[in-house]
């Protein structure tokens, strides 16, 4: 009923908001907050990293190609250890009712943004209740030897060792550049919590307000260095139910509906007022198996769970024909190191029961399955998926109860390791294989909680660390193939699928491009009069 209530409320407010260059986007989940360095959810990135904040470099729209952003140029030393960035001049921070900047972007802002996460003695290091999951999981504190301001508009990063994906990593949300001046103002006023509720950045949209679990409002940044966006106003309407998102779209209550159910796409293509966008994205759907909980620490139990689940049936029920491919590994076949010899676990109930018996669970065991209420790109029908897994596990004697949590609560509790099995998904942030492996499966990520399997395998960890330090693609690919073989045998996930990405727009919307990274940026969007 809540989704319906929100829909009616949004419709009631439309005459005030809906102007020719305003856009309402029906989004699938609420942001966790707006201090993007604390969070990893794609919805949080859309509401902060893709609107309010920017990085030194960015991805070209619809691709993984690196282009300048707050840095207009950069130089990389021959040994791959130093990266020197020249900052763009004339970049202004947002002016809002709660902050008026006295200066433009400079090197101090870059240093503050990284040192806050890197330096445990920094005034703001302990003021992030959720920590810095990406920075920690990706080992940035151990990677970066020094960050220094060469002058007001030049910053140099010195690394302890070469890191192949480093430049691409700097285009990710967790490297967003904050206003050091705003942070100082908040610290002096003892209102540091406002960094997460009243964000200030340099991006194309200025944050106005957030109605919890309902909507986020932005205004165009009139002083944006890239030119004022065509949209005067942007509203993210939080609409967890995919059916409601489509109803809103058809009614004109929103102009963009993100992540429709793939099964609904054929009918949507026939609608005269709508356009459907489709892309083979860098998405992975999986079930994390919490190896911190007994008996899930036993590889035989994890293998039995994998052998029990009918992935083909799941694929058909969730995505329909041709909208996803079965997964055998943490990332799609298009990325470096894919090994076609690895095949998805087959359904083999007899072998599954045998493995359970060998592990001492011939009489079965009890587990919990965690999922979310509303659907997204990696899990379009959460209830159906959980029920299918529950039924298949029952066939080998595993009794599993299903528990449903709102998205933010699900992520928080899964990070704390409270689950047994949890349906999750991942959108690649930079097009590099490491982005699927280190944040999700490394020992550092297990320690931080971002690795929801809690799986720490030393040989696997060493292989992916070595692969990050190697520039030569063939050598990197060989290391990844070795790592993927370990992942497959150890089975810390039920690797489910690599889905396509969809969005549905009203026909008067122009300039929106789907990103293979699963993010949504509206800087270049406009509406036809």
pLDDT in tens, 360-400: 999 999 999 999 988 788 998 899 999 999 999 999 999 99
Q: Examine the domain organization and report whether 106 and 172 are in the same domain.
A: yes
Q: What is the pLDDT of residue 263?
A: 87
Digit-coded pLDDT (tens) for 93-145 = 999 999 999 999 999 999 999 999 999 999 999 999 989 988 988 889 999 99
Residue range 225-242: mean pLDDT, rounded: 96
Sheet holding 71-76, edge to edge: 71-76, 82-87, 154-159, 144-151
For the cut 60, the answer to whether the pLDDT of residue 13 exceeds it is no
Digit-coded pLDDT (tens) for 163-185 = 999 999 999 999 999 999 999 99
Asked if the structure places residue 287 within a domain, the reply is yes
For the cut 90, the answer to whether the pLDDT of residue 40 exceeds it is no
Supply the CATH number for residue 482's domain.
Answer: 3.10.105.10
Q: Examine the domain organization and report whether 274 and 407 are in the same domain.
A: no
Q: What is the pLDDT of residue 19?
A: 47
Asked if the structure places residue 204 within a domain, the reply is no
d(CA 48, CA 215): 13
Q: How many CB atoms lie within 10 A of CB 297?
A: 14
Helix and strand numbers, DSSP H then E, in the chain: 18, 21
Q: Examine the domain organization and report whether 397 and 349 are in the same domain.
A: yes
Q: Examine the domain organization and report whether 508 and 473 are in the same domain.
A: no
Residue range 493-497: mean pLDDT, rounded: 97
Q: What is the pTM of this model?
A: 0.84
Q: Examine the domain organization and report whether 456 and 524 are in the same domain.
A: no
Q: What is the pLDDT of residue 398?
A: 97
Tell me the three state secondary structure of residue 412: helix
Tokens of 138: 């990706």
For the cut 60, the answer to whether the pLDDT of residue 7 exceeds it is no
Average pLDDT, the chain: 93
CB 421 within 8 A of CB 401: no
Complete DSSP assignment for 106-159 = -HHHHHHHHHHHH-TTSTTGGG-TT--HHHHHTTHHHHEEEEEEEETTEEEEEE
Residue range 225-235: mean pLDDT, rounded: 97
d(CA 45, CA 34): 8
Asked if the structure places residue 117 within a domain, the reply is yes
Whether the bond between 295 and the residue before it is cis, its omega within 30 degrees of 0, is yes
- Domain termination residue (choose one: 199, 224, 259): 199
d(CA 297, CA 457): 12
Q: What is the pLDDT of residue 258?
A: 93
Q: What is the pLDDT of residue 448?
A: 86
User: In the structure, what pLDDT confidence band is assigned to residue 307 with cuts at 50, 70 and 90?
Assistant: very high
166: Cβ contacts below 8 Å, ≥ 6 apart: 83, 143, 159
Residue range 205-228: mean pLDDT, rounded: 97
**% of the chain at pLDDT higher than 70:** 96
CB 248 within 8 A of CB 26: yes
For the cut 70, the answer to whether the pLDDT of residue 9 exceeds it is no
Q: Which domain holds residue 516?
A: 1-30+212-279+502-529
Digit-coded pLDDT (tens) for 505-527 = 999 999 999 998 888 999 999 99
DSSP designation for 270: T
Q: Examine the domain organization and report whether 165 and 140 are in the same domain.
A: yes
Q: Which of these, 219, 221, 207, 198, lies nearest to 91 by C-alpha position? A: 221
Count of domains observed in the chain: 3
CB 30 within 8 A of CB 181: no
Q: Examine the domain organization and report whether 432 and 411 are in the same domain.
A: yes
d(CA 133, CA 122): 17
Q: Examine the domain organization and report whether 440 and 517 are in the same domain.
A: no
Supply the CATH number for residue 253's domain.
Answer: 3.40.190.10
Helical segments of 196-296, H only:
242-251, 265-269
For the cut 90, the answer to whether the pLDDT of residue 153 exceeds it is yes
For the cut 60, the answer to whether the pLDDT of residue 3 exceeds it is no
Asked if the structure places residue 358 within a domain, the reply is yes
Asked if the structure places residue 105 within a domain, the reply is yes
Asked if the structure places residue 207 within a domain, the reply is no
Q: What is the pLDDT of residue 362?
A: 94
**β-pairing verdict for 71-76 and 66-68:** unpaired
Q: Examine the domain organization and report whether 511 and 526 are in the same domain.
A: yes
Q: Examine the domain organization and report whether 368 and 305 are in the same domain.
A: yes
Q: What is the pLDDT of residue 20?
A: 53
Asked if the structure places residue 486 within a domain, the reply is yes
CB 500 within 8 A of CB 281: yes
Q: Examine the domain organization and report whether 304 and 432 are in the same domain.
A: yes
Q: Examine the domain organization and report whether 172 and 320 are in the same domain.
A: no
- Domain termination residue (choose one: 164, 199, 234): 199
Digit-coded pLDDT (tens) for 393-438 = 999 999 999 999 998 899 889 999 999 999 999 988 888 999 999 9
- Domain termination residue (choose one: 199, 224, 257): 199
Asked if the structure places residue 205 within a domain, the reply is no
């Amino acid at each position: 009923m809540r989704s319906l209530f929100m829909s009616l409320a949004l419709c009631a407010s439309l005459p005030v908001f809906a102007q020719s260059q305003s856009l309402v986007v029906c989004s699938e989940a609420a942001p966790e907050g707006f201090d993007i360095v604390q969070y990893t959810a794609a919805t949080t990135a859309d509401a902060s990293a893709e609107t309010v904040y920017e990085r030194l470099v960015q991805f070209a729209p619809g691709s993984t190609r690196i282009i300048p952003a707050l840095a207009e140029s950069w130089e990389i030393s021959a040994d791959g250890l130093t990266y020197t960035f020249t900052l763009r001049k004339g970049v202004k921070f947002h002016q809002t009712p709660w902050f008026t900047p006295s200066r433009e972007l400079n090197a101090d802002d870059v240093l503050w943004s990284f040192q806050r996460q890197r330096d445990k003695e920094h005034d703001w290091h302990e003021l992030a209740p959720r920590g810095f999951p990406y920075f920690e999981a990706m080992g940035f504190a151990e990677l970066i030897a020094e960050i220094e301001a060469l002058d007001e508009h030049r910053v140099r990063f010195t690394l302890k060792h070469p890191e192949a994906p480093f430049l691409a990593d700097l285009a990710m949300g967790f490297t967003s550049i904050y206003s050091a001046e705003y942070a100082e103002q908040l610290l002096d006023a003892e209102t540091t919590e406002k960094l997460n509720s009243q964000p200030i950045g340099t991006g194309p949209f200025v944050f106005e307000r957030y109605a919890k679990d309902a909507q986020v409002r932005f205004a165009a940044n009139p002083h944006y260095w890239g030119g004022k966006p065509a949209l005067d106003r942007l509203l993210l309407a939080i609409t967890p139910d995919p059916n409601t998102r489509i109803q809103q779209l058809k009614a004109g209550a929103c102009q963009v509906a993100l992540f429709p159910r793939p099964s609904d796409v054929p009918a949507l293509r026939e609608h005269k007022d709508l356009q459907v966008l489709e892309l083979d994205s860098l998405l992975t759907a999986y079930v994390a198996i919490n190896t911190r909980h007994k008996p899930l620490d036993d590889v035989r139990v994890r293998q039995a769970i994998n052998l029990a689940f009918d992935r083909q049936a799941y694929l058909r029920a969730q995505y329909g024909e041709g909208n996803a491919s079965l997964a055998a590994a943490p990332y799609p076949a298009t990325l470096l190191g894919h090994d076609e010899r690895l095949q998805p676990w087959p359904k083999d109930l007899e072998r599954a029961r045998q493995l359970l018996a060998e592990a001492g669970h011939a009489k079965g065991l009890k587990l919990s399955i965690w999922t979310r209420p509303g659907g997204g790109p990696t899990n379009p029908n959460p209830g159906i998926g959980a029920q299918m897994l529950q039924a298949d596990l029952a066939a080998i004697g595993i009794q599993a109860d299903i528990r449903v949590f709102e998205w933010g609560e699900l992520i928080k509790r899964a990070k704390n390791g409270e689950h047994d099995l949890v349906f999750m998904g991942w959108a690649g942030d930079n097009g590099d294989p490491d982005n699927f492996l280190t944040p999700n499966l490394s020992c550092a990520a297990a320690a931080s909680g971002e690795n929801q399997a809690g799986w720490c395998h030393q040989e696997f960890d060493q292989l992916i660390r070595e692969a990050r330090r190697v520039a030569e693609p063939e050598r990197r690919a060989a290391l990844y193939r070795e790592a993927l073989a370990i992942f497959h045998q150890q089975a810390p996930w039920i690797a489910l699928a690599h889905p396509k990405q969809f969005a549905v727009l009203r026909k008067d919307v122009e300039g929106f491009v789907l990103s293979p990274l699963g993010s949504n940026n509206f800087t270049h969007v406009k509406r036809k009069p």
